[in-house]
Amino acid sequence: MQRFPRENCGIFGVYGHPEASKLTYFGLYALQHRGQESAGIVVSDGKEIHEHKGMGLVPEVFDESILNSLPGHIAIGHVRYSTTGFSLLRNAQPFVVYHLGMTLAIAHNGNLINAYDLRKQLEEDGAIFQSTMDSEIIIHLWAHYFYLGMEEGLAKALSKVKGAYSLVLMTEDTLIAARDPNGFRPLCLGKLKNGGYIIASETCALDLIEAKYIRDVEPGEILFINDKGLHSIYLPPAPRHSHCIFELIYFARPDSRIFGRNVYLFRKAQGEELAKETKIEADLVMPFPDSGNYVAIGYAQAANLPFEIGMIRNHYVGRTFIQPSPTMRDFGVKIKLNPVKELLKDKRIVILEDSIIRGTTCRSRIKTLREIGVKEIHLLVSCPPHCFPCYYGIDFSSKGELIAASKSIEEIRKFLNLDSLHYLSMDGLLKASDIPKQQLCLACFNGEYPILLEREFSKTWLERHGA
């Protein structure tokens, strides 16, 4: 997909393992796809808390000597993409504060849509913020209501926030997991062979450390884990669950199971549904790696067409890659994906892609394929057109950057220079997900936002009606 949308973070927690920091390191490594700007780990031995954070990938931020300096049996960790707050070290998580002789730490995946109002009110009440993260707001609210006790104070704090959040929090002796009542972002509970517990954004992190999946943290659940065992309290339920469909389409690792659905099989099913909706005479099927791989497999099998990897991805393009100058602008696309010329020349090809956001990168890739002599190019997209911004943590927050918000499918086809373009229908997407429509957030496709501030609703209404 082009202009890769950025989702804000992967979180991980450990209770009851003597090398919690090392376990968290491997857990974050498995969740690296969810955030590549910064990484952090906070650890407790039951009395003292130690932390280390840095900018970059997990193995760039941590080494064995650093992990050995983080002793303890309780830990939380975080890998970050920024949606609220600039990409700076002071905004790296987990975030740690000291209050009434206690240490409170938080790692957050999601986005609060009433963060501005809450922060303004807290600052007027005398709160001093150390970062620009909306995650820090939750800590300030928790501290504000701590007089109610740790559990009730946190429940009161979370009742004040609106939006998407999956959280791991920690005190000196307790690991806490929490999920918003709508259940926008995934979060699961696992158990270690030694009896300890794991909290993770995705089940792939449990697999790496050989933890057994127990269950998902429920929407609206606040789960406390300490030497007394597991204990949950619940926030008032939302009118309905609103699991983010884009987690399944793009963000989650294909070997994960989220929202009760295996991601790999979901993406294959998307391809099968596309094969039902289209009849294209072609020589081969290929993905734009890696996001289209599994959809392409499903489509090729259902359409009885050969599957090929027609573009080769360079897996070693890191965040420090020197950006090409304007006169070398095509290099930025070609350094990541390069076509196999002898395979594709004079062929009719079907390309599978997970989504089209702005269309600029896709246009460059199609241009490259035309230049090597591809005869026909048919592009199939494994979801409906993205027409509306996301307020819940996916970083396509401006309607102006969404090509489908201003162009028809035929106009997009011409812009991309395709022989045909087809988006998976909403019915096809829902069949592939095997999740009831009323349990999914589909707002980026249909503009039906589960939670919205009045001023944001007015703004969206005006945009939708061209006012």
Give the pair of three-digit tokens for residue 253.
């690792």
Asked if 180 contacts 231 with a C-beta cutoff of 8 angstroms, the reply is: no
Q: Element (H or E) spanning 112, and its range?
A: strand 102-112
Q: What are phi and psi of 417, to 5 degrees?
A: 65, 55
Q: Is 244 a catalytic residue?
A: no
Asked if 108 contacts 134 with a C-beta cutoff of 8 angstroms, the reply is: yes
CA distance 263 to 440: 15
Give the pair of three-digit tokens for residue 425.
């229908």
Task: Provide the H-helix boundaries in 278-378.
Answer: 293-303, 331-334, 341-344, 360-371
Q: Tell me whether residue 86 is exposed, middle or buried, using C-beta atoms within 10 angstroms of its C-beta: 0 to 12, 13 to 18, 19 or more.
A: exposed
The maximal CA–CA distance of the chain, rounded, in angstroms, is: 72
Which letter does DSSP use for residue 325 in this model? P
Give the pair of three-digit tokens for residue 275.
């094969």
CA distance 143 to 98: 9
User: How far is residue 333 from each of residues 5, 329, 359, 361, measured CA to CA in Å?
Assistant: 16, 8, 13, 7
Which letter does DSSP use for residue 59 in this model? H
Q: What are phi and psi of 304, to 5 degrees?
A: 55, 50
Ramachandran sector of residue 93 (left: φ over 0; alpha: ψ -120 to 50; beta: rest)? beta
User: How far is residue 250 from each of residues 11, 15, 90, 409, measured CA to CA in Å?
Assistant: 18, 30, 28, 21
Beta-carbon contacts of 41 under 8 Å, excluding residues fewer than 6 positions away, are 21, 24, 25, 28, 51, 52, 53, 62, 67, 70, 75, 76, 77, 78, 94
- Report the catalytic residues: 9
